[in-house]
Amino acid sequence: MSTDIEKILNVAREHAATEVAPNVDAWNQSGVWPRAASDKAGAAGLMGLYAPEEFGGQGLSLGDGIRVYEELGTADGAYAFALSMHNICTFAGCGYGTEAFKEQWARDLTSGRKLANFALTEPQSGSDATNMYSRAVINSDGTWTINGAKAWVSLAGEADIYFTVVKTTDQPGHQDMAMIAIPADTPGLSFGPRYETPSYTFLPLSEMYMKDVVVSEDNIILPVGQGLQGSLMAIDIARVSIASGCCGLMQAALDTALSYSKNRKMFGGKNLDLDGIQWMLGDVATELEASRLLYRAAANALGTPEGPVMAAHAKRFVPDAAVKAAHTCTQVLGGMGLLKPYGLDRLSRLSQMLRIVDGTTEISRVVIGRSLAKRAKTLPDLPVPKGFGET
């Protein structure tokens, strides 16, 4: 029987409150990934959320498991993001990996003893993911020799294995794409200098270089022809996970504003007594409730034909709402909102980062626009009066 969702949400809440929230400023100061905390997350069952129990996972559905990031997001969105990427790789490895891969890696991944990340983006291909250069040559003994570069690799140099999307021919398009997991200690795999980010500095980010990297066929996760389709499914899960984490972020911003505003004396009363302040925070609360409903509906739609467009709706709406919430709550605190100890500046930077990663707000609009165009084709034609739109 799979883990009870309420139980795992409590575990995530406790982890966020005791391991993440009190330490995140120190992590950002040190710029070092908190491996001891992610080890504890693994031991607590947060690193194999959707993996089957036979491999040590929790066996949760995506619809349930994704709610974990809302809990983690109350403490830190970048930490929640990194764990969500690990869980997606673990899901892919345990679900689609070879028997040999599962034998070697599954339990280490579900327990969090080994960390995984997903490397799709390249320097020339972010939103335009099919414009990829990384290339695998399939050798006569079945091994793959890979050359190329990935960009914006999270957990760069920290993860133990990188789920990497590559092309297998020189033909344009995506029919030849595949996903293969490259262990960190494979000769020829290296990382560029750390990107300098203004916040979330504990999350190592850099380019990843593959020079004549030879990988066993045991590590093929998605065979030739399924690389792009599988990656898009992974990205849909990531988009909804980010929306979930953003709800935690909005709750944290709102609670900070309420905790301050109820005490701040002004005009013979408290800041929170002012209608204008209540309306500002009321709007944040409404958008938070709407965001929760949306990401949970999107999480439940994953794996159905509606999954991609629902994920796009969630990724379009919720991070935007989080950016707005972080700014509004900063404003409510006045000057204090700008000071580090209140944490709102950190939330503003995080929410902006979450608008970009795993498909920008604009790319979500592209996905939604395409689905509208498809729907338009099914609707009856309304006549356009003569002379309108004609040249």
Ligand X SMILES: Cc1cc2nc3c(=O)[nH]c(=O)nc-3n(C[C@H](O)[C@H](O)[C@H](O)COP(=O)(O)OP(=O)(O)OC[C@H]3O[C@@H](n4cnc5c(N)ncnc54)[C@H](O)[C@@H]3O)c2cc1C
Q: Which residues contact 383 (CB under 8 A, 6 or more apart)?
A: none
Which residue among 31, 63, 126, 188 contacts ligand X (CB under 6 A)?
Answer: 126
By the rule CB under 6 A, 331 interacts with ligand X: no
Q: Which stretch binds ligand X (CB under 6 A): 89-97, 314-322, 323-331, 350-358?
A: 350-358
Interactions with ligand X, residue window 75-94 (CB under 6 A): 85
The interface with ligand X within residues 223-262 (CB under 6 A) comprises: none
Q: Which is nearer to ligand X, 112 or 337 (CB)?
A: 112
| Nearest-angstrom CA–CA distance, 308 and 91 | 18
Selected range binding ligand X among 119-127, 176-184, 248-256, 324-332, rule: CB under 6 A:
119-127
Six-digit token pair at 30?
A: 């040190």
Q: Residue with structure tokens 């509906």?
A: 297
Residue 346 CB, nearest approach to ligand X (Å): 14
* Beta carbons within 10 angstroms of residue 62's beta carbon: 22
Comparing CA positions, the residue from 101, 238, 121, 235 lying closest to residue 181 is 101
CA angle, corner 244, sides to 65 and 229, nearest 5? 70
Decide: helix, strand or coil at residue 166: strand
Q: Is 263 in the site for ligand X (CB under 6 A)?
A: no
Question: In terms of residues, how long is the chain?
Answer: 391
Closest CA to 249 of 292, 309, 312, 278: 292
Q: How far is CA 181 from CA 120, 213, 220, 284, 367, in A?
A: 12, 11, 6, 41, 28
Positive or negative torsion for Cα 131, 132, 136, 137? positive
Instruction: List the interface residues with ligand X, window 306-325 (CB under 6 A).
Output: none
From residue 351, how far is each of 151, 200, 247 by CA, in Å? 21, 11, 10
Closest contact distance (angstroms) between CB of 85 and ligand X is 6
CB of 363 to ligand X, least distance (A): 6
Cα within 13 Å of Cα(23), Cβ side: 18
Size of the site for ligand X (CB under 6 A): 21
- Pick from 71, 236, 287, 358: which binds ligand X (CB under 6 A)? 358
- DSSP 3-state of 120: coil
295 neighbors 222 (Cβ within 8 angstroms) = no
Our CB check for ligand X shows the closer of 127 and 259 to be 127
Q: For the segment 149-178, give every residue that binds ligand X (CB under 6 A).
A: 152-154
Q: Quick check: 130 binds ligand X (CB under 6 A)?
A: no
Q: If you search the block for the tokens 């009321």, which residue do you land on?
A: 282
Identity of the residue, 74 or 117, whose beta carbon is nearer to ligand X in the bound complex: 117
For ligand X, the closer CB: 56 or 204: 204
From 27, 91, 105, 118, residue interacting with ligand X (rule: CB under 6 A):
118
CB under 6 A: which stretch of 9-17, 113-121, 209-217, 244-252 binds ligand X?
Answer: 113-121
Structural contact between residues 165 and 132, judged by C-beta atoms closer than 8 angstroms: yes
CB of 159 to ligand X, least distance (A): 9
371 interacts with ligand X by CB under 6 A: no
194-223 binders of ligand X (CB under 6 A): 205
Nearer to ligand X, 30 or 259 (CB): 30
Q: Which is nearer to ligand X, 143 or 360 (CB)?
A: 360
Which residue type, as a one-letter code, is found at position 78? Answer: A
Task: Enumerate binding residues for ligand X (CB under 6 A).
Answer: 85, 117-121, 126-127, 152-154, 205, 353, 356-360, 362-363, 366
